[in-house]
A and B are shown apart, each in its own frame.
Chain A
Amino acid sequence: MKAIKTTGLVLFIIGFGIFIGSFFIESYVVTENLLQNRVGDKAELVKRNSDVVGKTFSNSFSLVRDLDEAFNAVNKVQLDAFGITDKEVNKIAVQNEGSFEISSLDQVFDDSETGTYKKKTFRDYGGWLDGREFGSKEEMQQQIANVANNIKLYQIVNEKGFDKYKVKDLKYSLTKASSTGLVSGSPGLFLFLTYIVCIVGALLYILPKIKDAPPGIKNNGLFHKAMTSVGWLGILTGTFLILFYIILYFYPEYMTSWIITVDPVSQFLKGSDAGRFFLYGFIYTLCILVMGVRMIIKYRHSKYQMVRTMSVMFFQTAFAFLIPEILLKLNQPYFDFKNIWPLDYDFFFDNELNTLMANGGLGIFMLGWGIALIILGVPVFVYFFGKRWYCSWVCGCGGLAETLGDPYRQLSDKSVKAWKIERWMIHAVLAFAVVMTGGVLYTYWTGSSQILGVSSYDVRSVYGAWIGAGFAGVVGTGFYPIMGNRVWCRFGCPLAAYLGLVQRFKSRFRITTNGGQCISCGNCSTYCEMGIDVRWYAQRGQNIVRSSCVGCGVCSSVCPRGVLNLEVKDEEGRFGKPILLGNDGVKLQS
């Protein structure tokens, strides 16, 4: 048994090593053809102003740096050529006395290509100056300079050069397409050497645990192991996860060899190459499946845990991963039927709405389905089953937390202080999500992006970067080995906040405490991933009714005295009923 486990571990480390190695081993050549293909007629400019084309780069870092430089160089050349110079600003100002006449431009600019361009763009950006009176020469000059500057910023870079979005895009797509070497040469091989080897290794390590001991709670050594007690291995793992997320969300151009590795899977599923979120979904699903197997083995004495784990494995694989890809293949909009706003924070974004509405019956159905989940699904199901129906049975974030994150559940902070912070934070995120979405819809319906002087586009991109990527991804998963597996669900998820409000105030769900049987051992609190101090209630014979409880049922599983049970019953008696502690002499009220 031990030998099999060791083999598994070694295989896993090899696979993982190759995965990390593949990040570094590609070289990159941007051919003329490729450049032409991606940037069209601007290719010439790039070629003229840099030497990226045809050069071999030994790693993505130097390629990306050179690409950055190349695009900057082009932008500079174009700005010099098409931008209105300080001298010209001066000249324009000199032409005008007291009030500004747009026709004065003819005196300054000739009819050459650049002259015409400058005239045209000034008319576009500064037409409103025509006929305006200015108090002083300086004032007028200032306005003209502003116009010239805006043209540089918003027009020339965009039209004649490369704006920052395009740069980001190009860096990624050029890196991916220019990749040459072992990985891009045989992605299938690498798919095998990384994922298959890792999966086989992990399973060889996990499966023999069935024989370790009879079924039952075995959290042996969790607080002695470096991986599960914030030791060096845990911190290393956390660091890796954090870096992974940062690269994924903010610097995908560096992870192209990882994406290339899963191209064959993507081709198989939807007939096109993978993007970064395909890679993410693929790894995510594998983690849930493999670690789900581990979870099932670990809790094989508890049918509740087994069924629940199979449920998250199913929903991730089918709903989050396969169905959306298959929809794409069928030329339908990408749609995850189990994702609910406000967790799915871009559900009401204009581009999403437009896509759904442009897709006929199915698109409209999807839109209706999504809205129905928000206004009916959440309250009705939470009323009957508690918030767990979503958080620990269906949700993808929950699914990862309950499988990959299970070894870290004991690291959540149980202090009352943490609880206070949690309540502030999660409700603040909910408010932010609602306000952001409100703004987005306002813009959608009125077409005006400014609300109280703030652009709804800015708000939504701040939300996307800080909450959607930063909090949910980088912090939410990266901190598993440091703060437990539900950091996002507990402190950040706006949907959890909404589900929680319903659970707290209108639900049949509670954790029942079994009379006076609690021995205050603390297992329940320790293993509560949401940081609920379950024991606080249990040792007084009180039921546990907390908005944050995701109903994972682990408190009930680890309790050595059979004290806790997740139940749905009449709302009556959830709170405050006289409690039974077995002492007939003293009547205690909860």
Chain B
Amino acid sequence: MSHVVIIGNGISGVTAARHIRKNSDYEITIISAETDHFWSRTALMYIYMGHMKFEHTKPYEDWFWKKNKINLVNDYVEKINTQEKSLELIKKGEFSYDQLILATGAKPNKFGWPGQDLKGVSGMVSYQDLRYIEKYTKGIERGVIVGGGLIGVELAEMLRSKDIDVTFLVREKKFWNNVLPHQDACIISNHIKEHHVDLRLGSELKEILPDENGRVKAVVTSEGDEIPCQFVGLTAGVQPNIDLAKASGIETGRGILVNEYLETSVKDVYSVGDCAERREPLPNRRPIEQVWYTGRMMGETVAQTITENKTAYRPGNWFNSAKFFDIEYQTYGWVWNQLKDNEKEFYWEHESGKKCMHFIFDRETKLFLGVNTFGIRLRHECFDKWLTEKRDIFHVLENLRKANFDPEFFNRHEQQIAEAFNKQYPDNTIKLKGKKSLLEAIFG
């Protein structure tokens, strides 16, 4: 019987294990050095903020693994001997495998800033990071966050929840402007400020200064401002964990290189999730995709291949979501921060300045390409279908009512959105389909 060993108990490794179990009776072992059980690092912020305890973030109860005959080993893998098909673990020593999945995830970027290893400076990825941040932000006055991505804004919310002042250094002109179009980035930037975050746009970290005990006492920005603080969060992106693969003779680039079947350069060794890099990226997609969903899908896929149903990794239409303090964000299809030559946009913003929708479509064919939505939930199923069926923007807007996923009684905006579109594109007016909700009918 084949023994599948998975390194890393994050979403990608665990999903692979679950689906291998569904399809086979192979022996399965997950080795991971971070926590005994799979937990959801996406919920890290909620543990810090006291919304949940660590226990709550475990997607499966502890009995689940035994019941499904998935062995868990808490250990660190130092080396892979791909010839003998064995691993060297720090505590357990040698450990053999028949097939190996590298799901080692990612770690925070550090760009060699002076002072980046001082006490009170931390990235935010692991369980250990969480406990470290808890310890070093207890009772402090100000924290500085470096790098304006999704993890940075989560860290800002975390610190603000404990009334800690936050200075947020963001290189871009607007928050997350390297991903979001200008209008969307403005909405989020304003909202971050509404939460009393000292958001410094276009500002970078130059240096972190220590006090006499080797603990951070201030940062110096690219403009030369010195900001006193007791904690620094480094959230300028993550990089794949490739040290193990590299040391074991598996080909790596920025990540562990894999083909469309998620196979690495070595036979019977696969790689999935945050650490994997596609040799030939799919159209429009990056070679390294570090989000929860792609990790999950790679896990689902590699499980097929390992259980003798060779399957290429073929994710469907792109989607993603996030939350910036109180504003939820979802995206379906492709919305780039800059319009491409063939693209046109339709942007609608609610008068509150907290909701907007940003549609992208093809200039010529009017083909719908993607949407960003803030403060209004949209239905994955509808957009997935419209993207797959290659619908045009008119069809999407006309049927927008169907795609609304907000709870009952919420204010509906489809009418306004349609009117705004007709105003902006008077040559191509659309007529909203579907019934008004009862409340809309009553209150307009």
Hey, which bits of chain A sit against chain B, CB under 8 A? 213-225, 301-304, 306-307, 410, 415-416, 512, 514-517, 519-523, 525-526, 535-536, 539, 553, 556-558, 560-562, 565-566, 580-586, 588
Residues from chain A with Cβ under 8 Å of B58 in the complex: 522
Which B residues between 311 and 340 are near A, CB-CB below 8 angstroms?
311-317, 319, 321-323, 325-326, 328, 330
**Segment among B199-207, B401-409, B414-422 that sits at the interface with chain A:** B401-409
In angstroms, Cα B51 to Cα A525, docked, is: 12
Select which of A514, A521, A535, A553 is within 8 A of B46 by beta carbon.
Answer: A521
B403 to chain A, nearest CB (A): 11
**A516-B380 contact, Cβ under 8 Å, with A303-B409, A582-B297:** yes
Select which of A217, A303, A517, A584 is within 8 A of B330 by beta carbon.
Answer: A517
Any chain A CB within 8 A of the CB of B397?
no
In angstroms, Cα B51 to Cα A519, docked, is: 16
Pairwise interchain contact B380-A525, C-beta atoms closer than 8 A: no
In angstroms, Cα B411 to Cα A72, docked, is: 68
Residue of B nearest to A538 (CB): B59
Select which of B52, B61, B194, B319 is within 8 A of A517 by beta carbon.
Answer: B319
Pairwise interchain contact B319-A220, C-beta atoms closer than 8 A: no
Select which of A215, A223, A562, A583 is within 8 A of B52 by beta carbon.
Answer: A223
Pairwise interchain contact A515-B384, C-beta atoms closer than 8 A: yes
Select which of B52, B378, B380 is within 8 A of A582 by beta carbon.
Answer: B380
In angstroms, Cα B65 to Cα A203, docked, is: 48
Residue of A nearest to B14 (CB): A520
Pairwise interchain contact A521-B296, C-beta atoms closer than 8 A: no
In angstroms, Cα B407 to Cα A553, docked, is: 8
**A560-B328 contact, Cβ under 8 Å, with A521-B42, A582-B380, A584-B314:** yes
B350 to chain A, nearest CB (A): 14
In angstroms, Cα B53 to Cα A225, docked, is: 12
- Select the residue from A306, A307, A562 with max chain B CB neighbours within 10 A: A562
**A520-B59 contact, Cβ under 8 Å, with A223-B50, A560-B323, A562-B377:** yes
In angstroms, Cα B316 to Cα A225, docked, is: 43
A54 to chain B, nearest CB (A): 59
Residue of A nearest to B439 (CB): A303
In angstroms, Cα B52 to Cα A525, docked, is: 10
Residue of A nearest to B52 (CB): A526
Hey, which bits of chain B sit against chain A, CB under 8 A? 11, 40, 42-43, 46, 49-53, 56-59, 61, 161-162, 191, 194-195, 292-293, 296-297, 300-301, 304, 311-317, 319, 321-323, 325-326, 328, 330, 377-381, 384, 405-411
Pairwise interchain contact A517-B325, C-beta atoms closer than 8 A: no
Residues from chain A with Cβ under 8 Å of B301 in the complex: 583, 585-586
In angstroms, Cα B322 to Cα A460, docked, is: 55
- Select the residue from A219, A220, A225, A525 with max chain B CB neighbours within 10 A: A220
Select which of B46, B314, B405 is within 8 A of A585 by beta carbon.
Answer: B314
B176 to chain A, nearest CB (A): 16
Pairwise interchain contact A562-B328, C-beta atoms closer than 8 A: yes
Going nearest first, the 9 A-B pairs with the smallest beta carbon separation are: A515-B380, A216-B326, A585-B314, A562-B377, A521-B43, A584-B316, A303-B409, A221-B50, A583-B297
In angstroms, Cα B51 to Cα A285, docked, is: 29
**A520-B11 contact, Cβ under 8 Å, with A515-B319, A515-B384:** yes
Pairwise interchain contact A304-B328, C-beta atoms closer than 8 A: no
Residues from chain A with Cβ under 8 Å of B384 in the complex: 515, 580, 582
Residues from chain A with Cβ under 8 Å of B57 in the complex: 521-522
Residues from chain A with Cβ under 8 Å of B407 in the complex: 302-304, 553, 556-557, 565-566
B193 to chain A, nearest CB (A): 11
Pairwise interchain contact B405-A525, C-beta atoms closer than 8 A: no
Residues from chain A with Cβ under 8 Å of B379 in the complex: 514-515
Residue of A nearest to B318 (CB): A582
14 example contacts (A-B, Cβ-Cβ < 8 A) are as follows A221-B161, A222-B51, A514-B405, A519-B42, A519-B43, A519-B293, A520-B40, A521-B46, A522-B43, A523-B52, A581-B293, A584-B315, A585-B297, A586-B311
In angstroms, Cα B11 to Cα A521, docked, is: 11
In angstroms, Cα B280 to Cα A569, docked, is: 43
**A224-B52 contact, Cβ under 8 Å, with A302-B407, A515-B380, A582-B316:** no
In angstroms, Cα B407 to Cα A219, docked, is: 20
**A521-B326 contact, Cβ under 8 Å, with A515-B319, A584-B314, A585-B313:** no
Residues from chain B with Cβ under 8 Å of A521 in the complex: 40, 42-43, 46, 57
Residues from chain B with Cβ under 8 Å of A217 in the complex: 326
Residues from chain A with Cβ under 8 Å of B314 in the complex: 583-585
Residues from chain A with Cβ under 8 Å of B325 in the complex: 214, 216
In angstroms, Cα B322 to Cα A561, docked, is: 6
Residues from chain A with Cβ under 8 Å of B409 in the complex: 303-304, 306-307
A386 to chain B, nearest CB (A): 11
In angstroms, Cα B195 to Cα A218, docked, is: 13
Pairwise interchain contact A519-B161, C-beta atoms closer than 8 A: no
Pairwise interchain contact A526-B51, C-beta atoms closer than 8 A: yes
B326 to chain A, nearest CB (A): 3
B418 to chain A, nearest CB (A): 22
Pairwise interchain contact B59-A535, C-beta atoms closer than 8 A: yes
Residues from chain B with Cβ under 8 Å of A583 in the complex: 296-297, 300-301, 314-316
In angstroms, Cα B409 to Cα A304, docked, is: 6
In angstroms, Cα B43 to Cα A558, docked, is: 12
In angstroms, Cα B372 to Cα A296, docked, is: 29
**A516-B326 contact, Cβ under 8 Å, with A213-B195, A415-B61, A583-B300:** no
Residue of B nearest to A514 (CB): B380
Select which of A304, A557, A562, A581 is within 8 A of B405 by beta carbon.
Answer: A562
Residue of B nearest to A224 (CB): B50
Select which of A214, A302, A520, A561 is within 8 A of B321 by beta carbon.
Answer: A561
A388 to chain B, nearest CB (A): 11
A273 to chain B, nearest CB (A): 42
In angstroms, Cα B319 to Cα A583, docked, is: 11
Residues from chain B with Cβ under 8 Å of A213 in the complex: 195
B282 to chain A, nearest CB (A): 11
In angstroms, Cα B50 to Cα A225, docked, is: 9
In angstroms, Cα B322 to Cα A588, docked, is: 25
In angstroms, Cα B409 to Cα A198, docked, is: 33
Residues from chain A with Cβ under 8 Å of B195 in the complex: 213-214
In angstroms, Cα B330 to Cα A302, docked, is: 18
- Select the residue from B325, B330, B378, B407 with max chain A CB neighbours within 10 A: B407
Residues from chain A with Cβ under 8 Å of B304 in the complex: 585-586
Pairwise interchain contact B49-A221, C-beta atoms closer than 8 A: yes
A40 to chain B, nearest CB (A): 60
Residue of A nearest to B304 (CB): A586
Residue of A nearest to B49 (CB): A220
Residues from chain A with Cβ under 8 Å of B406 in the complex: 565
With contacts A223-B52, A520-B43, A522-B46 known, what are 5 further pairs, Cβ within 8 A?
A: A220-B161, A302-B407, A303-B407, A516-B380, A517-B330
**A416-B61 contact, Cβ under 8 Å, with A304-B410, A582-B384:** yes
In angstroms, Cα B43 to Cα A215, docked, is: 21
